[in-house]
Structure 1
Amino acid sequence: MTRRISKVAVIGSGIMGSGIACHFANIGVEVLLLDIPPRELSDAEKAKGLSLEHKTVRNRIVNTNLANALKSKPSPIYHPQFASRIKTGNLEDDLKKIADVDWIIEVVVERLDIKQKVFEQIEQFRKPGTLITSNTSGIPIKFMNDGRSEDFKQHFAVTHFFNPPRYLKLFEVVPGPQCKKEVTEFLLSYGEKFLGKTSVLAKDTPAFIGNRIGIFGIQSLFHQVKELGLTIEEVDKLTGPVIGRPKSATFRTVDVVGLDTLVHVANGLYENCPNDEAHELFKLPDFIKTMMDNKWLGSKTGQGFYKKEGKEILALDLNTLEYRPQKKASFSTLELTKTIDSVIDRFPVLVNGSDRAGAFYRKNFAAMFAYVQNRIPEISDELYRIDDAMKAGFGWENGPFEIWDAIGIRKGIELMKAEGHSPAPWIEEMLNSGNTSFYSVQDGATYYYDVTAKKQLKKPGQDAFIILDNIRKSNEVWKNTDAVVQDLGDGILNIEFRSKMNTLGGGVIQALNKAVDLAEKDFQGLVVGNQGANFSVGANIGMIFMMAVEQEYDELNFAIKMFQDTMMRMRYSSIPVIAAPHGMTLGGGCELSMHADKVVAAAETYIGLVEFGVGVIPGGGGSKEMTLRASDTFRKNDVELNVLQEYFLTIGMAKVATSAYEAFDFGILQKGKDVVVINRERQIAEAKKHALLMAEAGYTMPIKRTDVKVLGKQALGMFLVGTDSMEAGKYISEHDKKIANKLAYVMAGGDLSEPSFVSEQYLLDLEREAFLSLCTERKTLERIQHMLKTGKPLRN
């Protein structure tokens, strides 16, 4: 039976329920969001003379919760218009509507009695065969199944989303004891393919996989922090980006999530895992109990491990339990990793550190390795599921078994023994059989050690993915220090940036030209894609700054022209070029995407032309391209000035789309041409498919454009009057006005006396001249310098 999901019902509209509803709306599914009707009128409703029977009153809870979710930052929804896909109602009047849905998701309060009551009501209207899942993270399925029909049990599972559902990728699927195998397989597949998640099959054990390991890690740190004499700032320094974890690290993350949430899960583990060897670790340290008593729960109460007073952020001293100014944390061991770009390569250095940081890592990783080895087969039969869960649910770049591999399995055992832990029998058995790693790469695929089979097996589900890490060496066609060109197979090449933050400097520009040359000579198409944290943060502004400060204007002009020529080389090549942006795609990264034949963007793409922030205009073809796109948008009887102004404001206001879908509104992505992929893991494979499709359909090199309509003095005058007014109203500074006027000159096509048709090269020359002139301005150099130092724009 082919199962399709066109409509879901979400029961419960709290933070999680509304977030789940929004994410289904994100992928085009119609959503029915239900909650209880209120039991009493609000003051506003009383003032209006409304009764409890009034429809707006009966839907007040669900409508308020959804409205609050849609206003939250970051947004739970890809585009404001997608919210129209969600219809609201209440459980007394509208529950009968669930008869029309394909999937019912229960997200009510974590109390068994309430869940059982909701399930009983659902059974009155649910049609047989409809999927029914719960978002619980702590109630055993056997209790939720109690009293339910056979059909209910056969289609019932836990589908545990992590909060916020749009952004955190973990989707734990826990089938009930009677759940049909095909239902479990469908949920896992749907999570990956449609929801863009990392689907992880989990067992019905307390806190499943992600929270079991994640809460152990945090509780372990709670107990270690005082033992090792570390401050909370030091722990956050040691457990943040240096080891591939989020910037919020440990204590800031707890503040954001809420200490009460963490304590609830930890208490549940303490009560429900009496045989866990780390059982006592789930007991709360005294300082946590005090914080709970004081209601120091984090962001929701204004203070937790950190507290903001005015503009200053204070840190909690765990010895005195008083707040004090933050202290800068520094360790000599961390200094040794500064030249190691790849996080996975830092771990051997970190555990060999001779300072307190080294001691911390040895103790911390020993505890983690000892714990995860003993969770097999308790919480998972396969070790890769534990790694997948930690990466997708907690934002770890590498899972615990991957870290153990990086350090070396025997070295990991040495660390464990030093802390009084023993290796699990299956670990010793694995080593004795000649397997010296948990993972290996064979023929471009990832293999993992399977404890039951006692050998390396291919990790399932890879056929839909292309993992660049796995093919980089074996399929390498060409490389320099900043980029690698790989053969994706079927006649398609990929160019992967490897520069710091994937900036577009001379090495990347050289590689792009080489990739096009290679593709035109021996291949069918080219993908520009990588699997780093971000596609590209733009041009190397450090290089631009040095050239401008040294007044090497000829060299700077050459560098800008080389960038422009490379963008045009991509556009006017004899093979299709597909860009695959994701994450931050700013400045030059955005310009590159706009010059591809097609963009296959990840849904989570934050793309925009942000050059105004460093005192220049887009100089790699972005200003030209927005002018061209405005020209292509002109229709008969249009007020062409208004159309052009929209494109001008996209650059002038440095607009950054908060999702790929929003980028269509800005004209950065083009409807009917560019596409969006929900699951980023599938992006390179999808981009390859589109390159192949275009090549096999008979791709022809485009003819260079000489028909771009520019409006000349008519547009220039309007823009100059506008910037004068903005400066007079103190909305922009004098230098902002200067930058905007330079952009106005380019997008008007200069001071032509009447509307004219010009070539792309004409506009590129105007753009480059404007960019260079701005690089001679002291205030522009101040902006670039400030960005390089702080990572933030300067208004001067």
Structure 2
Amino acid sequence: MSENSKLIVRRAAVLGAGVMGAQIAAHLANADVPVVLFDLAAKEGDPNGIVKKALDGLKKLDPAPLASKERLAHIDAANYEQHLALLGECDLVIEAIAEKMEWKEDLYRKIAPHLKAGAIVASNTSGLSINKLSSTVPAEKRANFCGIHFFNPPRYMPLVEIIATTDSDPAMLDRLETWLVSRLGKSVVRAKDTPNFVANRVGVFSILAVMHHTQRLEMGFDEVDALTGPKIGRPKSATYRTADVVGLDTLAHVVKTMQDTLPGDPWHSHFQAPAWLAALIEKGALGQKTKGGIFRKQGKEIQVLDLAKQDYRTSAGEIAPEVAEILKIKNPAEKFAALRASGHKQAQFLWAIYRDVFHYCAFHLESIADNARDVDFAMRWGFGWAMGPFETWQAAGWKAIAAAVQADIDAGLAMSPAPLPAWVMARDGVHEPAGSWSAAEQGLKPRSSLPVYGRQLYPETVLGEAPAAKGETVWENAGVRLWTHAQDPKIAILSITSKMHAIGDEVLDGVLEAVSRAERDFDGLVIWHEAPFAVGANLQQVGEACAKGEFDKLEATVAKFQRASMAFKHAQVPTVAAVQGMALGGGCEFVMHAAHRVMALESYVGLVEAGVGLIPAGGGCKEFAIRAAQFGARQAGGELFPFLQNVFQTIAMAKVAKSALEVQEMGFAKESDDVVFNAHELLHVALGRARAMAQAGYRPPLRARNIPVAGRPGIATLEMMLVNMKEGGFISAHDYRVARSAAIALCGGDVEQGSRVDDEWLLTVERREFVELLKTPETQARIKHMLETGKPLRN
């Protein structure tokens, strides 16, 4: 490889078919990388039995490691006894076996003779010394060896830590980082070769601090989880539920690693599993994987371990009202001052866990990370914190918090007597527009200059960094903003600005105006904004109009929705939908009508109107009726029904695609559309795609005519499926009516089979069925219930 060449991975190998190994293999397959998954040869039966069992298990995991079940076919099972020669075909080898140094060393010796020249070999260890592992790799292979630490589950967790050894080739590391960021969609932190690296070092200490103060203040595990979840910007699983999900044995192992490898750490006395945790592990209560740990489920009841009673009780953790009021304070400085001043033990608990994490991060920044930004991003990407520890501290007033932390250290209240480093008191914060503080280099470090990050037009930023420019506004109203970006000022960008990007009247007006302006003044139009893409029609507006009986107004709004969708489809410039997150209902219909789609892998798309007693009427049914005709034209006898049957089930059951690959499989997108693994690259790719389409002389499709439809026989055939479901008690009478309306719209209405209609006819049919459903008390009740509870009503 030349110095500046890119990494090409035609085939990869993963060594170890455990929980992480199998899921890393799955994500490589998601990204169109063929994988060989290795493990030990089974002692009985099929030698590949261990791997095949792991692959079978991938299909059952939730959330799904595979973005499409079809990707399983691209993972080959192998074992170390028979198939090591296959490593000669692999450009990337990821070792993910158990965390035992001697096992890894033995495996490296075994695979070394079979490795392809120039192949990258990386260990997915979560904490063992990468330099020590490197010493067991043949000298000529060490330049291409490093640590590559994925977080569980690998498909969904953004963080990957890359850990260099003293021998790692810097150019190789750059190529690997570039590939991980763009091909696998990962967020990379370069970690130093210290125990547990960055995220686990801080994250596990944070858990230990929580455990220490839980015990000190005699608090319940459920009470602590109520405090350490979304209320402070942490995941819903908070602390103790997270421990159950990770596995109590796994947590104890990571703590033991810290105990064994960090004897000089000033917090070392806290690096041990509490007695109650050791007792749970000893009796096999390891958390979620054993159906019980700190929490367990008895029937429908969630129970929590009560240490005082030495038994489980109903989980009912609550935040005290006075503490809840403190947590509502918007100003971080005021919030932290109130926590410190409060005498309530919950407030004292929260201040203590923050204080000790701030203290720990400041003390260890020099040894564990290149700069403060890496620590903050590691905690965001690896542990799901809304803000990292340093930016939380900076937001709350750097000097005031530093003084309070040092005062608690001096008073013997902190978990360690170690003083804060001198640089802490000398600074006003760690993040500035020029970069983030590096304690090791005593200066500010700018972001990575790797070209791959130029594809991220709006990257994540930490507090104190200069955010990317917002672009030039061309026009806006209450629902949308039309603007341009410097990457290509002649491609307009349409962003929906309503709450959750719900589509109401103001958005529809905005879309129609934006398309008109794009046709007149620009070469293309990209629809892009942060996730979600759109949660569908503005139900609040629909519900209010129903309550007033304004059905003529509602029909006019639906007609406008259809015009907006058709404007996307038939615009005289290419329209590109850049999709991430949820695109539901009307959002899905906008996606379907764009000339092209650029989708983040994590796109969740579906026509979900049935959940509120309606059918798609923004052109969704019309689009599928047209596609059914196109499908039929390719079949002997022009048979439409096989296509319609699948689509009907998708609409009637409000199925949602759980990845961009499924979006294509379910027909909401085309095979020729783009799937981008890193959502931060969406806008860059969409602008490029719109430019390429414009340069190729884009021509919009003509309005559809002479569309053969399934008509009355098609409706009757689809209805037969409903009869059985209704008689079996699987659907209600109103479910039946809603699904029948979908059948009517998909089959072109009450006409003869094979009748030829145009797209305007199909739009009229779906609009009429939609409005008739709106008039029913059952659909109105469903809309009201959804607005009040956020959940569907079965009536």
Fold match (TM-score > 0.5): yes
Note if 1:467 corresponds to 2:455: no
Q: Counterpart in 2 of 1:44?
A: none
Note if 1:27 corresponds to 2:15: no
Q: Counterpart in 2 of 1:196?
A: 185
Amino acid at match of 2:773: L
Q: CA deviation at 1:708?
A: 3.3
Residues 328/106 of structure 1: CA separation in 2 closer, same or farther (3 Å cut):
closer
CA contact (8 A) 1:313 1:325 kept: yes
Residues 16/456 of structure 1: CA separation in 2 closer, same or farther (3 Å cut):
closer
CA contact (8 A) 2:232 2:327 kept: no
Residues 729/79 of structure 1: CA separation in 2 closer, same or farther (3 Å cut):
same
Q: CA deviation at 1:335?
A: 6.1
Residues 284/148 of structure 1: CA separation in 2 closer, same or farther (3 Å cut):
closer
For residues 317-336 of structure 1, the aligned pairs below 5 Å read 317-327=306-316, 329-332=318-321
Distance in 2 between residues matched to 1:339 and 1:633, nearest whole Å: 55
Select the residue among 392, 401, 413 that pairs with 2:381. Answer: 392
Distance in 1 between residues matched to 2:349 and 2:769, nearest whole Å: 53
Provide Cα deviations, 1:275-321, integer angstroms capped at 9, x if missing partner: 32332332333433343344332112222222111111112334434
Q: CA deviation at 1:620?
A: 2.1
Select the residue among 557, 570, 573 that pairs with 1:572. Answer: 570
- Of stretches 497-506 and 383-392 in structure 1, the one that deviates more from structure 2 is 497-506
Unaligned runs of 5+ in 2: 461-466
Q: Counterpart in 1 of 2:463?
A: none
CA contact (8 A) 1:138 1:268 kept: yes
Q: Counterpart in 2 of 1:86?
A: 75
CA contact (8 A) 1:135 1:159 kept: yes
Q: Counterpart in 2 of 1:215?
A: 204
Q: CA deviation at 1:463?
A: 1.0
Note if 1:645 corresponds to 2:645: yes
CA contact (8 A) 1:579 1:599 kept: yes
Provide Cα deviations, 1:136-160, integer angstroms capped at 9, x if missing partner: 1222123323343211222211111
CA contact (8 A) 1:623 1:747 kept: yes
For residues 682-721 of structure 1, the aligned pairs below 5 Å read 682-721=681-720
Amino acid at match of 2:158: K
Q: Counterpart in 2 of 1:50?
A: none
Q: How many residues align?
A: 766
CA contact (8 A) 2:224 2:317 kept: no
CA contact (8 A) 1:527 1:577 kept: yes
Select the residue among 37, 40, 54 that pairs with 2:41. Answer: 37
Q: CA deviation at 1:601?
A: 0.5
Amino acid at match of 2:336: V
Note if 1:417 corresponds to 2:406: yes
Residues 195/326 of structure 1: CA separation in 2 closer, same or farther (3 Å cut):
same
Q: Counterpart in 1 of 2:722?
A: 723
Amino acid at match of 1:99: G
Q: CA deviation at 1:505?
A: 3.0
Q: Counterpart in 2 of 1:438?
A: 431
Note if 1:553 corresponds to 2:575: no
Amino acid at match of 2:681: R
Select the residue among 474, 482, 485 that pairs with 1:488. Answer: 485
TM-score with structure 1 setting the length: 0.90
Q: CA deviation at 1:120?
A: 1.0
Residues 437/211 of structure 1: CA separation in 2 closer, same or farther (3 Å cut):
closer
- Of stretches 651-660 and 360-369 in structure 1, the one that deviates more from structure 2 is 360-369
TM-score with structure 2 setting the length: 0.90
CA contact (8 A) 2:55 2:72 kept: no
Residues 458/60 of structure 1: CA separation in 2 closer, same or farther (3 Å cut):
closer
Select the residue among 275, 294, 299 that pairs with 2:288. Answer: 299
Q: Counterpart in 1 of 2:436?
A: 448
Residues 352/510 of structure 1: CA separation in 2 closer, same or farther (3 Å cut):
farther
Distance in 2 between residues matched to 1:396 and 1:294, nearest whole Å: 32
CA contact (8 A) 2:614 2:774 kept: yes
Q: CA deviation at 1:96?
A: 2.1
Q: CA deviation at 1:173?
A: 1.0
2:55 is paired with a residue whose SS is helix
Distance in 1 between residues matched to 2:328 and 2:127, nearest whole Å: 43
Distance in 2 between residues matched to 1:464 and 1:587, nearest whole Å: 30
Residues 22/110 of structure 1: CA separation in 2 closer, same or farther (3 Å cut):
same
Q: CA deviation at 1:713?
A: 1.8
Q: Counterpart in 2 of 1:7?
A: 11
Residues 349/334 of structure 1: CA separation in 2 closer, same or farther (3 Å cut):
farther
Provide Cα deviations, 1:93-150, integer angstroms capped at 9, x if missing partner: 1112212221222222211111111111112322332221111122212332334321
Q: CA deviation at 1:521?
A: 4.3
CA contact (8 A) 1:243 1:346 kept: no
1:585 is paired with a residue whose SS is strand
Q: Counterpart in 1 of 2:166?
A: 177
Amino acid at match of 2:560: M
Note if 1:755 corresponds to 2:740: no
1:526 is paired with a residue whose SS is strand
Q: CA deviation at 1:407?
A: 2.5
1:539 is paired with a residue whose SS is coil
**Percent identical:** 34
Q: Counterpart in 2 of 1:53?
A: none
Q: CA deviation at 1:738?
A: 0.5
- Of stretches 236-245 and 184-193 in structure 1, the one that deviates more from structure 2 is 236-245
2:582 is paired with a residue whose SS is strand
Residues 313/729 of structure 1: CA separation in 2 closer, same or farther (3 Å cut):
same
Select the residue among 423, 426, 435 that pairs with 2:423. Answer: 426
Residues 680/610 of structure 1: CA separation in 2 closer, same or farther (3 Å cut):
same
1:782 is paired with a residue whose SS is helix
CA contact (8 A) 1:34 1:62 kept: yes
- Of stretches 280-289 and 744-753 in structure 1, the one that deviates more from structure 2 is 280-289
Distance in 2 between residues matched to 1:274 and 1:191, nearest whole Å: 34
Distance in 2 between residues matched to 1:438 and 1:782, nearest whole Å: 51
Note if 1:158 corresponds to 2:140: no
Residues 596/333 of structure 1: CA separation in 2 closer, same or farther (3 Å cut):
farther
Provide Cα deviations, 1:62-116, integer angstroms capped at 9, x if missing partner: 2112211233222211212211111112111111221222122222221111111
Distance in 1 between residues matched to 2:247 and 2:498, nearest whole Å: 37
Note if 1:104 corresponds to 2:93: yes
2:364 is paired with a residue whose SS is coil
2:237 is paired with a residue whose SS is coil
Amino acid at match of 2:589: E
1:603 is paired with a residue whose SS is strand
Q: CA deviation at 1:498?
A: 4.1
Distance in 1 between residues matched to 2:348 and 2:550, nearest whole Å: 49
CA contact (8 A) 2:744 2:750 kept: yes
CA contact (8 A) 1:33 1:62 kept: yes
Q: CA deviation at 1:229?
A: 5.2
Distance in 2 between residues matched to 1:318 and 1:542, nearest whole Å: 47
Distance in 2 between residues matched to 1:477 and 1:332, nearest whole Å: 47
Residues 500/403 of structure 1: CA separation in 2 closer, same or farther (3 Å cut):
farther
1:376 is paired with a residue whose SS is helix
Amino acid at match of 1:524: D
Provide Cα deviations, 1:159-209, integer angstroms capped at 9, x if missing partner: 111122111121111122212112222221111121111121111100011
CA contact (8 A) 1:630 1:647 kept: no
Distance in 2 between residues matched to 1:364 and 1:334, nearest whole Å: 15
Provide Cα deviations, 1:698-720, integer angstroms capped at 9, x if missing partner: 33454333343323223222223
CA contact (8 A) 2:35 2:74 kept: yes
CA contact (8 A) 2:502 2:538 kept: yes
Amino acid at match of 2:27: H
Residues 165/193 of structure 1: CA separation in 2 closer, same or farther (3 Å cut):
same
CA contact (8 A) 1:468 1:530 kept: no
Residues 670/229 of structure 1: CA separation in 2 closer, same or farther (3 Å cut):
same
Distance in 2 between residues matched to 1:715 and 1:610, nearest whole Å: 22
- Of stretches 152-161 and 455-464 in structure 1, the one that deviates more from structure 2 is 455-464
Note if 1:595 corresponds to 2:580: no
Q: CA deviation at 1:334?
A: 7.7
Amino acid at match of 2:387: N
CA contact (8 A) 2:399 2:425 kept: no
Q: Counterpart in 2 of 1:268?
A: 257
Provide Cα deviations, 1:404-449, integer angstroms capped at 9, x if missing partner: 3332323432442353376532334443xxxx56143x8xxxx434
Q: Counterpart in 2 of 1:247?
A: 236
Distance in 2 between residues matched to 1:230 and 1:487, nearest whole Å: 53
Q: Counterpart in 1 of 2:268?
A: 279
2:735 is paired with a residue whose SS is helix
Q: Counterpart in 1 of 2:464?
A: none
Q: Counterpart in 2 of 1:52?
A: none
Amino acid at match of 1:463: G
